[in-house]
Amino acid sequence: MIELIPAIDIIGGQCVRLTKGDYQQKTVYRDSPAEVAREFEALGFKRLHVVDLDGAKSKHIVNSDVLRRITSETRLAVDFGGGIKTDADIETAFEAGAQMVTVGSIAVTNPELFIGWLEKYGADRMILGADVRNGKISINGWKEDSTEDLLPFLRKYIDAGVSNVLCTEISKDGTLQGPAVNLYKEVMAAYPTLHLIASGGVSGIDDIRALDAAGIPAVVFGKAIYEGRINLSELARHLTPTT
């Protein structure tokens, strides 16, 4: 059964969603991310993906207070990303209650630092962020594209001990046009033991079922919830979240 991970993206302390990572295409859905997190927990979800979009843009964590409120008011296992660039940032995230962190840009720009964190905190607390645009890994809040190709990038860090990867197809993100199932199948064919978290484009329960049928271990989804495309009670009945 695919692991279901609802998402909360934060700008200015509010729950928002972007389209294709474009900060100019921002929709504010709720003023209180912590309230949204409590609602997810009440529906039976065990895990939550939180992104500090201000942090991703500013290159340092900005919304640690929001993270702390979510983790103090729920028992959700929170993975947190956005703006984690230094030892101080990653320590801030864990001190604020994150059980896991998602790190992408540093794995491109400073591999030694990323591997040091992997060794220090362990593979179960580190998620490699692999956000893809035109086949290349994108960094710094998706504002820059690197020269890294996806599969070799993953291989390098799987060999270093990474077991969890969050992969977003940027062209799909926030579009409600369906996820990049073929891309995720390609990744799983290359690395079948990887705990791959698919992200981007989920428009409804049928998309989640398609990812499940394709053998994708986990999925993050957000905009489809806030736009009313997914009935969370129905989702909880038909696709019970894993612990």
User: Mutual orientation of helices 181-190 and 205-213 as an angle, nearest 10°?
Assistant: 20
Region 52-75: mean pLDDT is: 95
Q: Which amino acid type is present at position 241?
A: P
Lowest mean pLDDT among 11-15, 16-20, 128-132, 167-171: 16-20
Task: Tell me the pLDDT band of 134, cut-offs 50, 70 and 90.
Answer: confident
User: What is the predicted pLDDT for the residue at 243?
Assistant: 43
Query: Which residue did the predictor score with more confidence, 240 or 69?
Result: 69
Indicate yes or no: pTM above 0.85. Answer: yes
Residue 49 has pLDDT above 70, yes or no: yes
The residues carrying an active-site annotation are: 9, 131
User: What is the predicted pLDDT for the residue at 240?
Assistant: 53
Region 6-14: mean pLDDT is: 96
**Site of tokens 């959700």:** 76
Asked whether the beta carbons of 199 and 181 are under 8 A apart, the reply is no
Task: Provide the 3-class DSSP secondary structure of residue 13.
Answer: coil
Give the Cβ contact number of residue 44 at 10 Å: 14
Q: Tokens for 11?
A: 């700008």
Region 31-55: mean pLDDT is: 94
Task: Tell me the pLDDT band of 6, cut-offs 50, 70 and 90.
Answer: very high
Residue 241 has pLDDT above 60, yes or no: no
User: What is the predicted pLDDT for the residue at 154?
Assistant: 97
∠ CA 210-99-114 to the nearest 5 degrees? Answer: 90
User: What is the predicted pLDDT for the residue at 130?
Assistant: 95
User: What is the predicted pLDDT for the residue at 239?
Assistant: 55
Region 101-113: mean pLDDT is: 95
Question: In Å, what is the CA distance from 177 to each residue of 31, 204, 206, 211, 226?
Answer: 26, 10, 12, 14, 15
Q: Tokens for 226?
A: 């806030």
pLDDT one-digit tens code per residue, 77-93: 999 999 999 999 999 99
User: What is the predicted pLDDT for the residue at 144?
Assistant: 80
Asked whether the beta carbons of 163 and 154 are under 8 A apart, the reply is no
Backbone angles phi, psi at 144, to 5 degrees: -135, 145
